[in-house]
Amino acid sequence: MAKILLVEDYLSLQQIYRETLELEGYSVSTAVNAEEALELAKNTTFDIILLDLLLQQSLGLTFLEAFDVKKHPKTQIIIISNMFTNAALNKALELGAKHYLMKSEITPKELAAAVRETLAEMSKKNRQDEV
Amino acid sequence: MSIKAKLLLSALSEMLLIVIFSSFLVISSSQISNITANQTKASNIVQSISDAHFLTFEGLLYHSQLYIDQLQPENNNLDALIASYPASSTDEKAILRDIREQQNSLELIFPKLYASYSPQQTNQGDTAETPSETTLADQLISTQQTEISEALKLTNLKNHEELTLRQRTSSLAVMIIVLMFCITAINFIFVFASISRALRILQKGAHAIVRGKLDYRIKYKRANDEFGVLAATFNHMAASVEQLDTVKSEFVLLVSHQLRTPATAVKGFIALIRDHYSDNLSDKQRELIAGAYEENERQIKLINEILVVAQFETGEMTVNKRPYDLLRVVKSVVAEQQMMIESRGQQVNIVESTVLPEIAIDPDKIRIVIENLVHNASKFSPQDTQIGIRLRATNELVQVEVSDQGQGLGHTEMQRLFKKFSHSSNPGTLRAEGAGLGLYLAKRIVDLHHGKLSVSSVIGEGTTFTVQLPRNNHKIK
């Protein structure tokens, strides 16, 4: 079962995405700020981290900087946001985020589909690496 | 030096010149009046001399007459005395006769003398004159003439002096006027040039602010003059505007974000029911949920449009260009709107006239353009019609045409089509649902790509929107 960390401070959205992802059969942990997320990431290796770029308490970029993607090669970061500047997005991509999704543009089901595709890409890449 | 000081200095120099000029005129006029006084004196002298002579003549005449008058009784007395002498007193008689002769000669000389001096009688003087009388008269006349001619010389000399002084005065006056004019002109040019330069600098700043360059600050060297103060105030104002604009922009971003997040949550909840919990729902319930979803989508679209417009207005909208296939954008938009288009019984026909190269665009922004054009084409077309999308490339540009078979647009409507909050007023078309920002946004985005968005329409046949995007970065005219 793929492990997903959902970092989202807007609780309604957190509930919706969590429920959808769980319905799709993923194990979902949630955090509302960078500190909580970093704490969870310390003990668990997540396959995917869904990260809100503009969190109220601490910016997603703070998490990305502290998390250090290079030290977690098995984890993929997907930015989910409703509001980001180009500079913030470019910085996030620089810091190792792979994809970004506008929350207002997608349904929860489409988010789950994006997660599924990313996982498929990852396993394909892993198999290639093994071969 | 301040403009006020410059103008003051200019006025002072003018006043100084006027004072100099006036005092010069006063001095000149006093000199002239001096000369005039001298002339009067001279003419008085002439008059006095003439009067004196006249008096002399008068006196002479009077005294001559008096003398003759006195002489007459004396002569008579003398005659009587001679007659009264006895014949024996010959010697006495001889003396008395001698005196009587002298008296006679005097009696004769005086009238002649008078005649010789009298101006009225000088020319008639053919009477015999004794040389002494003539010499005396000539001497007197000559003295008189010399004196008169001296007086006249003096008058002439004074006349000449007056003329010279008048000439000198008028030429100096002309020089001073020319000098005043030159100084005024130089002052005017100098002050005007500095005002004009300052105004140009201010104007440039104001234009920059109008164009939205709120970080523009005026650089004006003379900080102490009025324009320096104005420039400083202007810069202060620009800073305030910039700050306000930032606040406004942050506010709009915050509000949009705050609005969009709950709207997104509503979308999520409805989608969750629709996609995962709708098994036990009736058709009616499904229909209502679909309605809620659609309205929510519209709400999000509106918020997005306002947000994008706000980003444009605050200059935050930037394009991140990268090589991209325009057909991919078109196909993705059509796929997304397929359901809406099909629900109206409409069909989309995509035609590529040429092979399309990748061009440098911001696909997210160009997507907004194509979305709006396809959405409008469907919205303003009747049921069961075709929406044509034609793509082609030339050496300079890549072009997308989106045409509908709607009612077409009138001239006035086409003119205000790309303005903010513009809605279609065509009867028979659906009431516009958006904020009237779609085409405004589309045009702004195409402009940012140095491209061109144009429209052509035939009433009753349909409308075609054409997007032209340059293959190099040259602006399409």
Domain count of the fold of chain A: 1
Residue B388's pLDDT is what?
A: 94
Tens digit of pLDDT at every position of chain B (477 positions): 677 777 788 788 878 878 887 887 788 778 777 777 766 776 776 676 666 666 666 666 666 666 677 777 777 777 777 777 666 667 767 777 777 777 777 667 666 666 665 554 444 444 444 555 556 656 666 766 676 677 677 667 777 877 887 788 788 888 888 888 888 888 888 888 888 888 888 889 889 888 878 888 988 877 778 888 888 889 999 999 888 877 876 787 678 777 888 999 999 999 999 999 999 999 999 999 999 998 998 888 888 888 877 777 766 677 878 888 999 999 989 988 888 888 889 999 999 888 888 899 988 889 989 999 999 899 888 888 999 999 999 988 999 999 999 888 888 888 778 876 665 555 444 444 555 778 888 998 999 899 999 999 998 889 999 999 998 877 777
* Lookup: tokens for B398: 């890549």
Domain boundaries, chain B: 3-186, 234-311, 319-470
Q: Which of A54, A104, A109 sits opposite B264 (nearest CB)?
A: A104
CB-CB neighbors (< 8 A) of B279 in chain A: none
Cα B22 to Cα B25, B165, B169, B369, distances in angstroms: 5, 16, 12, 78
CB contact under 8 A, A16 and B257: no
Q: How far is B303 from chain A (nearest CA, A)?
A: 10
Q: What is the CATH number of the domain that holds A38?
A: 3.40.50.2300
CB contact under 8 A, B276 and A54: no
Select the CATH number that applies to the domain covering B319-470 from these four: 3.30.565.10, 3.20.20.80, 3.60.70.12, 2.130.10.10.
Answer: 3.30.565.10
Proportion of chain A above pLDDT 90, given as a percent: 47
List Cβ neighbours of A86 (8 Å cut-off, separation of 6 or more): B318, B320
CB contact under 8 A, A86 and B267: no
pLDDT of B95-116, one tens digit each? Answer: 777 777 777 776 676 666 666 6
Residue B430's pLDDT is what?
A: 40
Residue A55's pLDDT is what?
A: 53
Comparing alpha-carbon positions, the chain B residue that sits nearest to A20 is: B272
CB-CB neighbors (< 8 A) of A12 in chain B: 262, 265, 268-269
- The span from the CA of B161 to the CA of A38, in Å, is 112
Ramachandran region, residue A74 (left: φ > 0; alpha: ψ -120 to 50; beta: rest): alpha
CA–centroid distance for B241 within its chain: 30
Q: Count other C-beta atoms under 10 Å from residue A83's C-beta.
A: 19
Instruction: Find the domain containing A97 and state its range.
Output: 3-130
Are both B234-311 and B319-470 of the same fold? no
The stretch A8-15 carries a mean pLDDT of 92
Q: Which of B257, B275, B318 sits opposite A107 (nearest CB)?
A: B275
CB contact under 8 A, B267 and A107: yes
Whole-complex ipTM: 0.85
Residue B65 three-state SS:
helix
Residue B294's pLDDT is what?
A: 87
CB contact under 8 A, A109 and B271: yes
pLDDT of B157-185, one tens digit each? Answer: 777 877 887 788 788 888 888 888 888 88
Give me the CATH code for the B234-311 domain, please. Answer: 1.10.287
Comparing alpha-carbon positions, the chain A residue that sits nearest to B265 is: A13
